[in-house]
Amino acid sequence: MPDADVPGTGWVALVGGGPGEPGLLTLRAAQLLARADVVVVDRLAPRGVLAELAPGAEVVDVGKRSGLHLVPQDDIDALLVERARAGQRVVRLKGGDPYVLGRGGEEAAACRAAGVTVEVVPGVTSAISVPAAAGIPVTHRGLARGFSVVTAHEDLVETVPARRDHTLVLLMGVSHLERSVSILLAGGADPETPAAVIERGYRDDQRVTTTLLRCLPDVAQQVGVTAPAVIVIGDVVTVSPAWGSRTVPHP
Ligand code: SAH
């Protein structure tokens, strides 16, 4: 653990920064950020906290855009190792939780393989918190007793139970929405299952759109959904205050 700072001995902390709202950063994350010599930051990490860093702390932005990786993963891994070996205290600030679809496991493994001390600080994942920001509990008595979190970048939606009482949370789902919905419907999902898209969770311009699974691709196109967004499919969506104003186009 990077607790006692020994001069010249670097470390890496893989820190989950939560969904973007600085208040959802953990105390451990704040402690490590305050001690960082360098912060290597993702696009969806809570950038507001960067204003609070120690004087002289460096910020390296490796933010990725959908479909366009500005800095390849290998280069990020190499950067973390190189800086820690040079004796720096490195905070790798990631969005949400580092181990939920965030490649944190690979970064931790790269550090360990290079003999660099690494601490992983869990964060508030967008998979649970962004639905919560829209008033959607991922489980709810009588509506859902479990949930799955998958990336829409692969055909994983076909591996989740096609049940309205098992909540499906899709990350990175905007550009593959039509394909994900077709896979779900082909797998036996009820077309009338409630669905929600929460864009820019916790930001001032957060937007929640609710509809039915069968209408989801059309509605998303109609309202102009853009990333980042979390997509929730399941009966729990009906708990959201936004459900009352759901969009259901006439067939
Ligand atoms: N490790 C992260 C997820 C990384 S994948 C976590 O635990 O949250 C990036 C995806 O997270 C985005 O494509 C989007 O689906 C989701 N996401 C992250 N922050 C978000 C936010 N503030 N609002 C909406 N979606 C968000």
Please identify, by atom number, the ligand 1 atom nearest to the C-alpha of residue 127: 8
Class of domain 126-245: alpha beta
Across 50-54, 218-222, 243-247, the highest mean pLDDT is recorded for 218-222
Q: Ligand 1: which of 171, 198, 204 to mutate, judged by most atoms within 8 Å of the beta carbon?
A: 171
Provide the whole-model pTM.
0.94
Predicted local distance difference test score (pLDDT) of residue 81: 97
| C-alpha of residue 22 to centroid of ligand 1, in Å | 15
For 59-101, write each residue's pLDDT tens digit: 999 985 555 557 899 999 999 999 999 999 999 999 999 999 9
Distance 20 CA to ligand 1 centre (A): 9
As assigned by CATH, the class of the 11-121 domain is alpha beta
Q: What digits encode the pLDDT tens for the residues 155-197?
A: 777 778 889 999 999 999 999 999 999 999 998 999 999 999 9
Give the separation between CA 231 and CA 209, rounded to whole angstroms: 10
Mean pLDDT of 108-122: 97
Pocket test for ligand 1, best of 43, 97, 120, 126 (most atoms within 8 A of CB): 126
Integer CA distances (angstroms), 172 to 16, 57, 62, 206, in order = 17, 31, 18, 16
Using CA positions, which residue lies closest to atom 22 of ligand 1?
A: 201
Residue 105: pLDDT over 70: yes
* Domain ranges for the chain: 11-121, 126-245
User: At residue 3, does pLDDT exceed 70?
Assistant: no
Catalytic residue positions, numbered: 42, 64, 172
pLDDT score at 4: 62
**Ligand 1 — pocket residues by CB below 6 A?**
19-20, 44, 95-97, 100-102, 125-127, 130, 171-172, 198, 200-202, 227-230
* Average pLDDT of every residue of the chain: 92
**Ligand 1 atom 15: residue of nearest CA:** 171
Q: Tell me which H or E stretch contains 13.
A: strand 11-16
Residue 65: per-residue pLDDT: 59
Instruction: For residue 6, report the distance from its CA to the centre of ligand 1, in Å.
Output: 35
Report the separation in Å between the CA atom of 131 and the middle of ligand 1, taken as the mean of its atom positions: 11
